[in-house]
Amino acid sequence: MPTVALFVPCYVDQLYPQVAVATLRLLERHGCRVVFPPDQTCCGQPMANAGQAADAAPLAIRFLDTFAGYDHVVAPSGSCVAMVKHQYPGLAPDHPKLEEVRSRTFELCEYLHDVLGVRRVEGRFPHVVGLHRSCHGQRELRLASGSERQVPPFDKVKTLLSSLTGIQLVEPARTDECCGFGGTFAATEEAVSCLMGRDRLDEHAKAGAEVITGVDMSCLMHLDGLARREGRPVRIRHVAEVLLGEAT
C-alpha cells in the first residue's frame, strides 16, 4: 500500500476543501494510505509564472523539504504539478531532494491511470458532462494527445470519466482550447480572459453539458465565476468530485 502525500493547492485548501476531500477519499478507495503534510502552503506557481523567480524559489524549497520521503505526492491540479515537474529544476537546482520529489509527484488522474493502472472507476454520475482540458495538464503533463499534434489519440482523464456508470460525456467544438484563466493573466488581461472564458462556456453549453469538469480548479474557478455572474445553469465540478460519483 503506497503512502501518498496529498498536496492541496493553496486556493483549493482555502476555497474548495471539498475537492481535497474528494481527492483523499478517491485515493483511499483505490488502496492508498493518504497523509496531508501540514507544513505545505503553495507551490509558488503564481510568482514563477509572473517572472518572479526570486519570490518563487523559497516556496519551491519549502515544497521539496515538505514532500521528500513519501512514496508519491499527488495533487488535484495539473498546473501545480507541471510547476513542480518543469519549473523546480530552474528554481531549486541544488536541492538534494529535487529529483526524488519531482519524479514522484503526480496529478490525480495521471496517478490513478499511470501509477495505479486504474481504467475503471466504480461510481455513478448520471449527468451530461463536458470535460474542460486545462492547458497545463494537456500540454505540460500530456494527459491527452492534443489537437495540435499528430500522435496516436489518448486521453487519460476521459478514460477514467467514461468508466463511470450513467455518465454522458460531450465534447465542446474546440476540444482543448484554453479557458483564459492563465494565473495573473486573469487580472492583467481581464478583458481577453473573460471573453475566452465565456466562449468556453458557450461551447460547452452548445454541446449540451450540464456539468463542466476538469483537473484544474483554477480554470474551473474562472469558468464558475463567469457562469455565476451571468446566472448560467451549468454546474462546475472538479474531476475528483465527479470520479467519486454520487451516493446512490
- Of residues 208 through 227, those in contact with other proteins by CB under 8 A are 221-222, 224-226
Rule CB under 8 A: is residue 40 a binding residue for other proteins? yes
DSSP state of 176: T
Closest CA to 160 of 223, 115, 220, 210: 115
Nearer residue to other proteins within complex by CB, 56 or 239: 56
What sign does the dihedral 48-221-134-237 (CA atoms) show? positive
Q: Which of 74, 118, 186, 211 forms a contact with other proteins (CB under 8 A)?
A: 186
| CA-closest candidate to residue 242, choices 126, 96, 87, 101 | 126
Nearer residue to other proteins within complex by CB, 41 or 168 = 41
8 binds other proteins (CB under 8 A): yes
175 binds other proteins (CB under 8 A): no
- Contacts with other proteins, 96-135, as mask; x by CB under 8 A: ---------------------------------------x
CA–CA dist 220, 181 (Å, integer): 9
The contact pattern for other proteins, residues 13-32, with x = CB under 8 A and - = no contact, is xxxxxx-xx-----------
Q: Which is nearer to other proteins, 72 or 167 (CB)?
A: 72
Q: Which three cell numbers stand for residue 212?
A: 463542466
Pairing of strands 128-132, 211-214: parallel
Q: What share of the chain is helix, strand, coil (3-state, %, to 5)?
A: 50, 15, 35
Nearer to other proteins, 176 or 241 (CB): 176
Sign of the alpha-carbon torsion through 187, 191, 197, 201? positive
Of 156-164, 194-202, 205-213, 239-247, which part binds other proteins (CB under 8 A)?
194-202
Least gap, CB of 182 to other proteins (angstroms): 3
